[in-house]
Structure 1
Amino acid sequence: MTKNLLIELGLEEMPAYIVTPAMEQLRDRLIAFLKDSRLSFERVEAFSTPRRLAVRVSELADKQDDLTEDFKGPAKKIALDADGNFTKAAEGFVRGKGLTTDAITFREVNGEEYVYVTKEEAGQPVEAVLAGVADVLKSMTFPVSMHWAGNSFEYVRPVHTLAVLLDDQALALDFLDISASRVSRGHRFLGQEIELTSADSYEDQLREVYVIANPNERENMIIEQIRAIEASHDVKVEIDEDLLSEVLNLVEYPTAFLGQFDERYLAVPEEVLVTSMKNHQRYFVVRDAEGKLLPYFVSVRNGNDQHLDNVVKGNQKVLVARLEDAEFFWREDQKLHISDLVAKLQNVNFHEKIGSLTEHMARTKAVAQVLVDMAGVSAEDAASIERAADIYKFDLLTGMVGEFDELQGVLGEKYARLAGESEAVSVAIREHYMPTSADGDLPDTVPGAILAIADKLDTLLSFFSVGLIPSGSNDPYALRRATAGIVRILDKFGWNLSLNDLVDCLFALNLESLSYANQTEVMAFFKARIEKMFDTAVPKDIVTAVLASNNFVVRDLIESGNALLEASKADSYKASVESLARVFNLAEKADATVSVDTNLFENAHEKALYDAVENLELSGSAEEQVSALFALSPAINAFFDNTMVMVDNEAVKGNRLALLANLTAKASQVAQFNQLNTK
């Protein structure tokens, strides 16, 4: 016989971004608990609102599955003494399983007998097992937690109610300072407390007190209401998925409505209006059929449609106050001059240990010049980069960016255009912030890409130079994201820039404001970021070997990893890698000052390998380079089969080691082959 289980935890309002992950975590932890407890079930449904987390388990078994488990113990010769009595080893083994030596049997395994015991455990009733639900609730983790009242424990928000129902039976359970009951709470303003009658009636009973517990149902309600607004007003509402997810977790009973604002505010840049509505007010943007912004917005009320006119007016009033500020700043900012704003940046700290924004921009300009030279940028793009580097942070001192800091760069582009800057310079000012997230969009223009890399490189090198190096998960200055951005942009544009060479050039710069330091740590940081760019199908040993190569061009590293992955599928891979690995291992003993002297060769196999290495050209695709290296395997094997490298004659030994070192110097362009695993 099966039953249905409901668990609901009632809390104070949780932040919207926590609700869905917390719901999924509760579901996943409960599923794991039930499986570990040997309780079978059909399915688990998850529910959530800002004030509750709940799960319902359908067709839950009324008792645990019985457990029968065999345990292998010591060998018979150890378990029995000379007189045939059980030894302390045997007694200790069965004692650890809660049994006696009477349970021992012997079974033959691979020609030898071993002690075996079988432990049987009858399944407990589901009611007894569900006492462990309290531990499931306690085990949950959250990005933020808090204490309340005089309690020593903490949780995401104060807990008010706990309901645990098995069909229509309320189970006794204590969690934190709450005892389980049938009580659940309705909508904060429209509903009241109710007593749940059964697990199956959960959604219907909450709906009566203006709570839609199923987030999918709430989402569908919001979308249907928005579609109705679109149809009745002949408009198109921009349903941003992230905004929809957030709004969904701000309401328990959604009612969408249309508001409006004065058309004169449309003179303010669209990005400002959209930011005000979406980011600040959680409103959906409204456009016409051609995509033009209209002076309307859609919001979602946490409640029904009673007195909705007052709600609309209140939301319009709040938005208009923001738009008034935006219009004022937009008007006032246009009176400013870029040169004046740039001059004032010397009074703004980039970081107290590093210096001002003016100094940061000067270093970025120097870094950008190195990149221009190494990447072979055109004269026209180079001029745009130089101009953009002189001014690119000016918008930080505008009133609009002070009010809407998420629009830095975006507004800089607009103000630069208004001031007569070129299109390339204006776009680079916006693009230098990209990517703004781990997988965010990358710059599309060469000036924007170079400026973005340069700005991030100085940020990274400056912070490392003063000892502000991320450790563990701690990264308050988002240096991992900046470094990942550098790597991704280099990969996108396909610039054949070796990060080793680039960083060497940057550390050699004579900068007035700061001397770069901790180069080794910087390179290790880069390697860690590039490692995350490899496809998950590429094995760890291949990634490690490729990252240890002497070619630190991002695209080449990725392609070499993929080429080795493909090569590893061939039967000849193991033998080819082992040949090269042997070369690498011995070459580590070579004297770098010794050059190969063909007059010291003592057999034809030395000369054959020498000729093969001299003629080796690692060009073309990564697949072609790997193929060329693996083609050396016969010559390498013949050399080792017929040549002793570590001979007593120091000149001959040094010559042979130098030959192997020449090969590793070339092969290291692809990977450090002695770090590949062939077992």
Structure 2
Amino acid sequence: MTRDVLVEIGLEELPARFVDDAENQLLAKTGNWLNELRISYTSIVSFSTPRRLAILVKDVAEVQTSKVEEVKGPALKIAQDENGNWTKAAAGFTKGQGKSLEDIYTKDVKGTTYIFVKKQIIGKQTHELLPEFSKIITSIQFKKSMRWGEQSLRYARPVRWLAALFGQDIIPFEVAGVPTANHTYGHRFLGKMITLSAPDEYEQALEEQYVIVNPEKRRKMIMDGLKQAEAKHGFQIPEDDDLLNEVCNLVEYPTVFIGSFDESYLTLPPEVLITSMKEHQRYFPVQSKEDKLLPNFAGVRNGDNYALQTVIKGNEKVLRARLSDAQFFFEEDQKHPIDYYLEKLDRIVFQEKLGTMGDKVKRIRAISDQLTQWLKLDEETRSNTLRAAEICKFDLPTSMVDEFTNLQGIIGETYALNAGESQAAARAMAEHYMPVQSDGKLPETVEGAIISIADKLDTIVGCISAGLIPSGSHDPYALRRQATGVLKIMKAYDWKITVESLLNVAEYQYGILDNESSEREKTKAEIDQFFNDRTTYLLKESGIQLDVIQAVLYNGIGIIPYLAAKAENLSRKRNNPEFKPVQEALVRVLNLAAKTDSATVKQEIFETDSEKKLYDMYLKVRDDYHNATKDREAVNALHQLGNLAQPIHDFFDHNMVMTDVESVRGNRLALLNNIAGLIYDYADLSTIEWKQHF
């Protein structure tokens, strides 16, 4: 016999960004809970809207599955006396398990014999276990929770009702003072309370009360509505999965409508119009077939199409007010030159310990200047880069950015062009915030890439020097994302600049390098470790194993594209049996080289041909290796080290390194130490778990 289970959590409107994660948690936690309890079922379906999270489990067994459990008792030497009779320890063990001495059997566990019994655990009735589902509800985590009223439960929003059914029976429990019942509620304005007689009525019953509990069905209704509008009006509505998902989680019964605004607002930058529609009103912008923005928008109503024209007019009125404000800000901002806003940066605090935005801009320019010199840019590109660095933050004090903060950089590009700045400098302004997410788009121009790195480095180094180091999920200045952005840009542009040299430039701006105290060393170590951690994260994300990452980071990060190439090469080699002789030779060198600090080799002390041949090969490989490293040829560099493998094996076959003759021993260790220096320059191969061994 089986019955279906339904549990619904009725809530005040959840923020749209919370809904999907909460639904996924409910689904996963329910499945794990049922499996742990050995309650069989055929399927689980989850539902969600802004006002509810629900789970429907089909064909739930009436009885928990019984199981046979093996229980280990005391060691046999304790359970039996010298005559082979069972002791009190054995008798107590079996009695405690509800068994007799006849049920005992023995097994060896790691060389010791123990006594065991098998006992059957009879499954309980499912209805006795289901009230514990309350723990699943209270275990759901949200990005932000708080206590509501006098309740101790921390939740995203107050729990308003609970529906819980096992077949026709109510599952009795309560959460936050709310008891379970067999009823739910339809649309806040269009629906009414529904009494459920069985779990499988749930979805259809709510749809009749204007609630679509299946989020995929709601999403499809919205998409179909948008496509119908496109076909009817002959325009196009660009796909926007993020906006679509957000709108889907804002409504329970979606109805798409088309509104319009005055064409005169099209004189505003498109980004301003799109931001006003998407960010403030959750509207879909509308374009012509030629991708030109039109004076229309697509909205989604939470309800049916009753009096839809009235709804459209209301939404048009709200958007008109938004656009009117934007137009006012845009026109007012244009009345002042760029220098007017640059002066204001000296009155905007970047961070209380790190000075003003004006101070930050000076540091960005200094770091950018050094980068342009290292990259040996032509004079025009260098000039555009430095000008972009000087004005990259000038739009922050503008009214437009004050109202639409996510337009920083974007609106700055428009204002810069209007003020007569070069296209390259203006573009770099917009790009220097990229990537805005860890996996976001990177700057497309070298000017934008340079200023992006300079800005991010300044923030990271400054914040860490001020003690603002991210911990756990706490990263208010998004330092992790910014460090990831720096590394990705450097890798994408394939710059022959070490990460450490860049950090030195940024540290110099804060006077860290001038400080000879222990505090300076601590700060540098924290900054280096922070970037090492971000590099590790990036390499792991690309499929590199942790031991390989640690190996290539032995000497620091260096040139990030070359570091990544070395890591990828070693990842391939670790599983290649043909590389085994090379790896064994090189790792053996590393192990012995640790016994000396000397690097002075005296050829006159050599006693065997194998010593001389190894030294001669080392001299040749050293030059070839450095040439490969200079050209950042990761595969060739390791190949050059591999040329030492056979001479190394011959050396060890014909020489005792740790001989009693001190001068000979020291000379042989010095030779190995020189070779180890080359190997360590590539990676610490001794930290890698070489898979070809197994």
- Per the TM superposition, whether the score is higher than 0.5 is yes
Measure how far apart 1:169 and its partner are.
2.6
- Deviations, residues 155-195 of structure 1 (Å, cap 9, x unaligned): 22111211111222322223331221102011111112111
Alpha carbons of 1:110 and 1:239: their partners in 2 closer, same or farther (altered >3 Å)?
closer
8 Å CA contact retained: 2:363, 2:509: no
Structure 2 residue aligned with 1:540:
546
User: What do the CA deviations read for 1:535-560 (whole angstroms, capped 9, x no partner)?
Assistant: 55432211111111456211111111
- The 5-angstrom pairing of residues 288-437 of structure 1 reads 288-437=288-437
Deviation at 1:659, TM superposition (A): 1.7
By how many angstroms is 1:508 displaced?
4.8
Task: Give the residue type in structure 2 aligned to 1:635.
Answer: P
Q: What residue number does 2:30 align with?
A: 30
Bigger shift: 147-156 or 496-505?
496-505
Residue pair 2:593, 2:670 contacting (<8 A) in 1 also: yes
SS at match of 1:476: coil
**TM-superposition CA deviations, 1:101-133 (whole Å, max 9, x none):** 453123578998542211211222221221221
- Do structure 1's residue 597 and structure 2's residue 597 form an aligned pair? no
CA 321–210 in structure 1, closer or farther in 2 if over 3 Å, else same:
same
Hey, what does 1:158 align to over in structure 2? 158
CA distance in 1, matches of 2:368, 2:269: 30
Partner in structure 1 of residue 525 of structure 2 = 520
User: What do the CA deviations read for 1:21-75 (whole angstroms, capped 9, x no partner)?
Assistant: 1011101000001111111221111101111100111122222222012244455
Task: Give secondary structure in 1 for the equivalent of 2:372.
Answer: helix
Superposition pairs for residues 583-662 of structure 1, below 5 Å?
583-591=589-597, 594-616=599-621, 617-618=624-625, 619=628, 621-662=633-674
Q: Is the 8 A contact 2:163 2:180 kept in 1?
A: yes
Label 1:387 to 1:87 Cα distance change in 2 as closer, same or farther (>3 A): farther
Aligned partner of 2:490 in structure 1 is 490
Q: Is the 8 A contact 1:237 1:285 kept in 2?
A: yes
Q: In the TM superposition, what are the counterparts of 1:251-270 in structure 2 within 5 Å?
A: 251-270=251-270
Decide whether aligned partners of structure 1 residues 91 and 640 sit closer, same or farther in structure 2, where only a CA change above 3 A counts. Answer: farther
Matches within 5 A, 1:225-236: 225-236=225-236
Bigger shift: 210-219 or 614-623? 614-623
1:92–1:564 CA distance, 2 compared to 1 (3 A): farther
Letter in 1 for 2:277: M
Give the residue type in structure 2 aligned to 1:450: I
Give the secondary structure class of the aligned counterpart of 1:286.
strand
* Secondary structure class of the residue paired with 2:106: strand
Deviation of residue 480 (structure 1)? 0.7
Partner of 2:59: 59
In 2, Cα distance between the equivalents of 1:179 and 1:102?
50
Give yes or no for contact 1:370–1:506 (8 Å, CA) kept in 2: no
**Aligned sequence identity (%):** 42
How far 1:89 moved relative to its partner? 5.7
Distance 1:245 1:349 in 2: 36
Task: Give the conservation status (yes or no) of the 8 Å contact 1:591–1:654.
Answer: no
Shift of 1:79: 2.7
Deviates more, 1:379-388 or 1:166-175: 166-175
Aligned length: 678
Quote the Cα distance in structure 2 between the aligned partners of 1:90 and 1:612: 70
Gaps of at least 5 residues in structure 1 are none
- The CA distance in 2 between the partners of 1:353 and 1:248, in whole Å, is 43
Instruction: Find the residue that maps to 1:133 and give its secondary structure.
Output: helix
How far is 1:98 from its partner? 6.2
Alignment of 1:13-28 (within 5 A): 13-28=13-28
C-alpha distance in structure 1 between counterparts of 2:147 and 2:608, whole Å: 80
Instruction: Output the CA distance in 1 between the equivalents of 2:272 and 2:98.
Output: 70
- Rounded Cα–Cα distance in structure 2 between residues aligned with 1:96 and 1:659: 68
The 10-residue stretch of structure 1 (270-279 or 203-212) with the greater mean CA deviation from structure 2: 203-212
Deviations 1:253-307 (A, max 9, x none): 1111111110000000000000000011100111111111111111111111112
Say which is worse superposed, 401-410 or 175-184, in terms of deviation: 175-184
121-130 or 316-325, which deviates more = 121-130
Per-residue CA distance 1:633-674 (angstroms, 9 max, x = gap): 222222233333344554433332322222122222321112
Give the Cα separation in 1 of the matches to 2:272 and 2:215: 31
Deviation at 1:83, TM superposition (A): 3.0
User: What does residue 670 of structure 1 align with?
Assistant: 682
For residues 66 and 257 of structure 1, the distance between their equivalents in structure 2, rounded to whole angstroms, comes to 56
Residue in 1 aligned with 2:587? 581
TM-score, with normalisation over the residues of structure 2? 0.93
Once the two structures are overlaid, the 10-residue window that deviates more, 364-373 or 324-333, is 364-373
Does the CA-based 8 Å contact 2:435-2:441 persist in structure 1? yes
Unaligned runs of 5+ in 2: none
Residue of structure 2 in register with 1:529 after alignment: 534
Q: 1:652 to 1:35 in 2, by over 3 A?
A: same
CA RMSD of aligned residues (A): 2.3
Post-superposition CA distance 1:588-617 (Å, at most 9, x none):
33325x422212222222222212221112
- Using the size of structure 1 for normalisation, the TM-score is 0.95
Measure the CA separation in 2 of the matches of 1:467 and 1:42: 53
Supply the AA of the counterpart residue of 1:639: F
For 1:405, give the aligned amino acid: T
Q: Indicate the residue corresponding to 2:7 in structure 1.
A: 7
Q: Which amino acid aligns with 2:590?
A: F
User: Shift of the alpha carbon at 1:78?
Assistant: 4.0
The separation in 2 between residues aligned to 1:188 and 1:304, in whole angstroms, is 12
